[in-house]
Each structure stands twice: as C-alpha cells, then as structure tokens.
Amino acid sequence: MRPVYRIFVNISIIVAAIAVFVLIPAAESASGAFGSGERLTYRLKWLFNMSVVGDLYAHEHRLFAEHGLDVTIKEGGPERDAIRELELGRAQFGVASADQVIRAISRGASVVVIAQIFQINPLQWIYRADIPRIQCLADLKGKTIGITYGGNDETIMKTLLAREGILDNEVRLFSVRYDYTPFYRHKVDIWPVYLNVQGVIIDEKLRNAGERVLFFNPAEFGVQFVANSVVTSEQMIKERPDTVQRFTKALLQGWAEALDRANTEKTIETIQQFDRNTPPGILKKQLSATRKLIMPAPGTKIGTINIT
C-alpha cells in the first residue's frame, strides 16, 4: 500500500478559528445591485465557471442581500492572490488553495479557513488514451507536463515527482495559461484541469474528434490534498463575527440551492450570465460532476472542513 501524503492547513489554527467563529453580464465581478447593505468584496481563486456557481447563485438570487450584505464577487486567476488582498484590505473574503494558506500562515499571515466547498479536490491531469496509461509515477518520465506556475497544481506535481525521485531533466514542465491549444496540438502530454469544468470541456471536444481521454488523479498515487477553501482574516473573525456568520450562511445556502436538482434549470441560467461561451449541454454535465465532488455521499454537509 502506498503511503498517503496529505497536504493540509495547520489543524490547530483551523480548529481555533472554527471555535472563535462558532462562538460568535459576463464580467470580472458580480457587483451588488440590490440596494444598501454591508459592503464586502469576495475574491475567487479562478474565473467565473461552474466551480463557483454556488457563489454566483448566492449573489444573483439575493441570498447575500437577504442577510444584509452587498457583496461584490471578483474573478481570480494566476495573477490574483486572495490572501494578499485580505491583508491589504481589498477583500474581506476569498478563496485560496491549501498551499497558499500554508505559505501564508508560515510567514505569519492571520488567515482563517471558514468553509471547504469541495470535499473531493477537482484538480487532476487529463491526457489522451493513445499514449501509454500512467500506471505508476515512473510513467511520468519523458512526459511534457502542464503546470500553472504559482498554482496548487505546481505544488502537487512537484510533490509527486519528488516522491518518485524524478529529476528535473527527466520531465518537461510546460507553463499553462488559459488557452488549451498546446494540449490540443499535442505539445503537452498531460494537462491540469478541474475535473468538473475544463475536464468536461476537453473530454467532449476530443470525443467529438474521435479521441478518448484518461485522467491522472494524484490521490490514486498517494498524494491527497485539501481542496480550495473559503478564507477570511482573524481581524474579521474578531471584529465582525456577525458579518462572517451571515456571509457564510448565505454562501452555503447559495451552494445548497444551486446543487439542488430541482433548481437545475435556474442554476444553468445563473451561470450562463457569466459563462456565455459554454453550451448548456456542457454546463449540465459540469453541474452533475460538481455535485459529486461537493456532496460525494448522501448527507454530506456543504462547507465541511476536512482536517483528517
């Protein structure tokens, strides 16, 4: 049996934070448009797509407003760092990967995890079935591997390579941006994707071209890692605990309603306001995949922080 490497935030910090908390059109942002309320900024980890549909649902269906909040949701991306924006006061809430939280805490940042939306991390790598199946980490040798420099996929892939003792000159790391063209043109062998978003898009495109794909899941090779988490600052927890509670309640309600099968059409209509390039059929497949990652078992409580 392979040993399991878990990449997670310092448990004592998370538990302490939880204790305090319990006691007390397509654009780069979804701005508050529902009248007065306590103004807040929420910086996402990535672009507007199905992985943030619950966040957008909470905004577009007035759940934040119903809790007295005027929330502006801003897109993320490789150049954005939600934790840094918390520190600078540019945002009150954000989404960050486990490695970002770990690095921030190690340098003394007062970041607090308040919810973990995805219970199964959607980050995997996609590759064509016409190359040899990756059955062990040694099979990565000689491959051109896509990574987002500065992203959590870089951390995970380098952990995998180090674990197997694969040297830098035994693989080629390719810098990934927003464009999938290098993968489509066979310039990159395996490409990082969110299983529920880019994974669905690329799989569909290649299947239509008569190609099959496979997915490389780090968890199957002994490296498990915490999914992106919703974060805030200790200052917010201490000075505005009611705001944190209202924000979290509205956010989780948004996710619960967005994932409710009875609301499927409403959810698709919501995401289409921000993601106009993805066909409705693909969006429905993405939504189905997203449900499985957020609620992998009956009774899964949305937002549960996995520290085991």
Structure tokens at 216: 């490389």
Q: Which of 113, 88, 110, 84 is nearest to 98 (CA)?
A: 113
Q: State how far the Cα of 234 lies from the Cα of 220, in Å rounded to an integer.
A: 35
pLDDT tens per residue across span 157-187:
999 999 999 999 999 999 998 899 999 999 9
pLDDT tens per residue across span 264-291:
999 999 999 999 999 999 999 999 999 9
Sorting pLDDT into bands at 50, 70 and 90, what band is 150?
confident
Structure tokens at 121: 């991390």
pLDDT at 10: 42
pLDDT over 50 (residue 13)? no
Domains in the chain, ordered, with CATH? Answer: 5-120+226-294 (3.40.190.10), 123-225 (3.40.190.10)
Q: State how far the Cα of 296 lies from the Cα of 119, in Å rounded to an integer.
A: 7
pLDDT tens per residue across span 91-128:
999 999 888 898 899 999 999 999 999 999 999 999 99
pLDDT at 28: 57
The chain-wide mean pLDDT, for the chain, equals: 90
| 205 Cβ neighbours under 8 A, 6+ residues apart | 184
Give the mean model confidence (pLDDT) for residues 139-154.
Answer: 95
pTM above 0.75, yes or no: yes
| 147 Cβ neighbours under 8 A, 6+ residues apart | 153, 154, 157, 173, 174, 175, 176, 192
Please report, for residues 26, 108, 122, 188, 245, the alpha-carbon distance to residue 117 in angstroms, rounded to integers and kept in the order given: 23, 25, 11, 30, 16
Give the mean model confidence (pLDDT) for residues 253-263.
Answer: 98
pLDDT at 225: 86
pLDDT at 12: 37
Structure tokens at 271: 């995401």
